[in-house]
Every structure is written in C-alpha cells, then in structure tokens.
Amino acid sequence: MTEETKNSSPASSPVETPPGGAGADNSSSQTEHQSSPDLSTGGSPLKASPVSVYDRPAVRTGVNLLMVVLVAFTAYLLWQRFSPVKQQASGAAAGADSLAGSAPEGTADPSLLPTMPPVFDASVVGISRRSNPITLIPNRPRTEVIKYTVKTGDNLFDIAEAYGLMPETILWGNFELLQDNPHLLSPGMELNILPEDGTYYQWKEGDTVEKVAAEFNTTPEKILEFSGNNIDLTDDDDGTYGIEPGTWIVVPGGSRPFRDWGPPAISRANPASAAYYGAGHCGEVYEGPIGYGSFVWPTVDRTISGYHYSAVHRALDIGGSMGNAIFASDSGVVVYSGWSDYGYGNLIVIDHGNGWQTAYAHLSSIAVGCGQGVGQGQVIGGLGSTGNSTGPHLHFEMIYNGTKPNPMDYLY
C-alpha cells in the first residue's frame, strides 16, 4: 500500500491539532467551503450560516445616529462644565451660600456686597432737610375782635405793627376812646383789635348792609361774607340780614375821613376862628413880619421820639430833654399862645403871612404872646410833656393853605 493511500484512508489515525493552529484555519476554510457549495458537481446545497445584525442597513444607520447624539451630549456637558458664564453663576451661588451661612437672617456682610456707585455725593454742597417731629397746626385767620390793654411806652404804630394792621384800623376800631387822635392813647386803656384792616361799626336803627357799605367805601359782599359778623344770609327781606340795632360788626376794607384834632389854620387876619380850641386863642387882627418860606429845625434835638408823619398823625414828634429850647421855624406873628383843650397842652401857633402856619405843642413853657412878631430861629418856649403826652417831646406841625404836608419835606 502506498503512502498516499494511507493518508486518504478513513481508518487512518486521527491527527491532534493544537488550539489556534492549522486545524482552526482548516476548519474556517471548510466552513467557507461549505457556505459556498459546488453546484457543478450536482450535489445538494448546504444550509447557509446566519447573517450578522450589523450587516442590516437600517440597524447600521440607527447606530450611527446614536453615536452622533452621544458625541453631541458629551460636548454639551463639557461646555457646561468649563463655560465662563457657568463659572460666574457658580461663584454668585457660592457667595450667596457664604452670606447665608455667615450672617443672621435678614442681614448681609457689607464687604461681600457688590460695589455700587454712590447715590449722593457728600462733597457737593446742597440743601439738607432735618426731620421735624413736631406737628404744626395751621394758622387760620382770626375772625373775632380781641382786646389789648395799653402799656407804658406803647404807641399807635407799635400796636398796629404787632397785630399786622394799619394804624388807621386801630383808630377806626376805637373811635369812642381815641376820637381819631393818637395822642389820646394812655396806659391802662383797653383797645379793640380787629381781625383785619377796616372799621368797627355799631348798627343803628334803619341801617342796611348797602348803606353801611357805602358809608365806609366798601362793598356789601365784604360785610356779608365776613364770618365773624355771624350774618344770616337767608334773612334778607329788608336789607338788614337780621342784624339788630346795637350790634357791632366789622367792615372789612372799610375807611372814613379822620377827624383832625390838631390846631386849625389860624391866620393873622382872623385869629378868633380858634376860639373853640382853648384859652390860648387870640381875638384881634395882627400885623407883623412875613416869613421867608424856608424853615429851620425847631429844636436842638433831631431825634424822632414817637410818631412819624402819616395819614393818622400829620406832624412830627421830635424828642429831647425837658426844657430844651424851641425855635420859631420861620418869621411871623403869634396867633395862638396858651392851653389847648384838645390834648396838645401848651401850644403856640405862628402865622407866617404867606399861606404858611407852624404849630408847637406840649410845651413846658411859653415865651411869646398873642400878636407878637418873631424872627426865624428865635426862642419861643421850652420842650415839655403837657396835655396828652407820654414823655417830653415837641409835636410840630406845618399848615399850608389849610393842608398839612410832611415837615420833613421842608425843614433843614
């Protein structure tokens, strides 16, 4: 028997093939050979081996898409981890956690707060406002008439200023006491103080609101609308609005002419016209010097001690010491020399023969008499405080053709 026949005999001994050796290759080759049968020999085809799942197109596409999604998700996680915005948010969260852990509830450590620009620059000087815990009650207008007791040293102008009124209102509200003469003011006198400028009037039988308003140069509406008068606006059948005779009412804005209690214009041609004024009047017609029309200061002191010139006091009150010399302001003839019954005490009036007269009141002494001619600057008496006077002073008036101008416009 040949060697070839021995190798192909089925009875030959089996050959041991080490793992992974040629036997494995042969087995693989045999598998491939079996998976591809030779139909040319006329043998029957062998059963085909199963195809891998990955070899299917749909599966392969799905796996590829899954891999793309995984890669994208991984990239997103990395971006979240290392992004600057994420780091800032994490830092802010950490700062908040630190503040919450280190400060009591409702408070924060100022050093950990973000720096903000100042709302107010303290270096800029501005208007500061201090708190005022005091409750202010509105200052409502007064509507009632009140009383004031005159004290030593008071005068009409000071009282009026203290209550925000015109001096005229003090006189108009107290005619029964003062008779329009501020020199009648005296300590202890109780004055009516009106709530606003105007007049004070006592209602008479037959009066109507329209008549009273016309008398005091105002309107009926002002009288009716003043709440302090307590007028019943529905009771207007007869024009009295229910105001009873004897009732005092305030006439807001009212005014009337003043009664002038000063010396009248006394001329050398008719000095007897002043007979009503007091014992110092002169009864005859006199001739004498004519004035220059210029006027010197009538005493040694130039201080205004009491009243200045005004609508209620048409003269000057010049201060000084008791007995200071009083001078004739201009040349002329004496037409009144003696006591005045109207509050001016010892009084001298000089007629200057050119439409001018000058008057010197409250004198402590008199050095000239009726009809006597005097020269400009001549001593005619002494400064005093006679009549209605609260202290030594000279009441000095100038009269021109019946009017009384301001002496300050003419004296030098």
Q: What is the pLDDT of residue 86?
A: 53
Q: Which of 128-142, 240-254, 368-382 has the lowest mean pLDDT?
A: 128-142
Residue 335, pLDDT score: 96
pLDDT at 153: 82
Retrieve residue 57's tokens. Answer: 């197109």
> Which of 403, 162, 149, 382 is CA-nearest to residue 262?
403
Residue 311 domain-assigned?
yes
pLDDT band, very low/low/confident/very high, at 157 (cuts 50, 70, 90): confident
The tens digit of pLDDT for each residue in 222-269 reads 999 999 999 999 888 889 999 999 999 999 999 999 888 788 889 999
Q: What is the pLDDT of residue 11?
A: 38
Mean pLDDT of 396-404: 95
Cα separation, 119 vs 124, whole angstroms:
12
Q: What percent of the chain has pLDDT over 70?
A: 73
pLDDT recorded at residue 22 = 39
Helix axes 84-102, 57-82, angle to 10 degrees: 50
| Highest mean predicted confidence (pLDDT) among 37-51, 79-93, 298-312 | 298-312
Same domain, yes or no, for 296 and 403? yes
- Cβ-in-10-Å burial (0-12, 13-18, 19+) of 94 comes to exposed
Output the pLDDT for position 75.
Answer: 83
| Domain endpoint, select from 218, 252, 286 | 252
pLDDT at 84 exceeding the cut of 80: no
- The CATH number linked to 302 is 2.70.70.10
Instruction: Dihedral sign for Cα 321, 357, 307, 183, please.
Output: positive
* Domain identity same for 394 and 313: yes
Q: Last residue of a domain, which of 203, 225, 252?
A: 252
Counted domains in the chain: 2
Do 299 and 238 have their domain in common? no
| Residue 294 and residue 247 in one domain | no
Same domain, 233 and 153: yes
pLDDT digits (tens, 9 = 90+) for 166-200: 999 999 999 999 989 887 888 899 999 999 999 99
Compute the Cα dihedral for 199, 200, 206, 210 and give only its sign: positive
Q: Which residue, 222, 252, 282, sits at the end of a domain?
A: 252
**Same domain for 277 and 214?**
no
Domain-located, residue 340: yes
Task: Give the structural domain span for 226.
Answer: 146-252
In a domain, 327, yes or no: yes
Instruction: With cut-offs at 50, 70 and 90, classify the pLDDT of residue 46.
Output: very low
User: Could you tell me the CA-to-CA distances from 60 to 70, 72, 89, 267 in Å, in that order?
Assistant: 16, 19, 42, 145
**Does one domain contain both 302 and 344?**
yes
Q: What's the pLDDT score for residue 186? A: 86
Mark whether 150 and 280 lie in a shared domain. Answer: no
Residue 136 counted as domain residue: no
Percent share of the chain, pLDDT over 90? 51
Instruction: Let me know if residue 74 belongs to a domain.
Output: no
Q: Within this chain, do residues 278 and 320 fall inside the same structural domain, yes or no?
A: yes
Looking at residue 343, its pLDDT comes to 86
Mean pLDDT (whole number) for 214-220? 96
In this predicted model, what pLDDT tens digit does every residue of 343-362 receive, in sequence order?
899 999 999 999 999 999 99
Q: How confident is the model at residue 133 (pLDDT cuts 50, 70, 90)?
A: low
Q: Is the pLDDT of residue 99 over 50?
A: no
The label of the residue with tokens 């329009």 reads 180
Residue 52 domain-assigned?
no
Q: What is the CATH number of the domain that holds 152?
A: 3.10.350.10
Q: How many CB atoms lie within 10 A of CB 304?
A: 14
Cα gap 282→25, rounded to integer Å? 176
Given a cut of 60, whether residue 145 has pLDDT beyond it is yes
Two structure tokens written together for 346: 């010892």
Calculate mean pLDDT across residues 111-122.
Answer: 62
- Mean pLDDT for the chain? 81
Question: Are the C-beta atoms of residues 383 and 394 closer than 8 Å to each other?
Answer: yes
Is 42 domain-assigned? Answer: no
Find the mean pLDDT for residues 138-165.
Answer: 89
3 state SS for the chain: CCHHHHHHCCCCCCCCCCCCCHHHHHHHHHHHHHHCCCHHHCCCCCCCCCCCHHHCHHHHHHHHHHHHHHHHHHHHHHHHHHCHHHHHHHHHHHHHHHHHHHCCCCCCCHHHCCCCCCCCCCCCCCCCCCCCCCCCCCCCCCCCCEEEECCCCCCHHHHHHHCCCCHHHHHHCCHHHHCCCHHHCCCCCEEEECCCCEEEEECCCCCCHHHHHHHCCCCHHHHHHCHHHCCCCCCCCCCCCCCCCCCEEEEECCCCCCCCCCCCCCCCCCHHHHHHHCCCECCCCCCCCCCCCCECCCECCCCECCCCCECCECCEEEECCCCCEEECCCCEEEEEEEEECCCCEEEEEEECCCCEEEEEEEECEECCCCCCEECCCCEEEECECCCCCCCCEEEEEEEECCECCCHHHCEC
**Do 210 and 289 reside in the same domain of the chain?**
no
Same domain, 190 and 311: no
Q: 133-147, 320-334, 388-402: which range is least confident on average? A: 133-147
Phi-psi region of 57 (alpha: psi -120 to 50; beta: other; left: phi over 0): alpha
Is the pLDDT at 50 greater than 80? The verdict is: no
Please tell me the distance from the alpha carbon of residue 52 to that of residue 97, in angstroms, as a whole number: 57
Asked whether residue 69 is domain-assigned, the answer is no
Specify the pLDDT at position 42: 43
The verdict on 324 and 247 lying in the same domain is no
The answer to which of 14-18, 157-161, 215-219 has the lowest mean pLDDT is 14-18
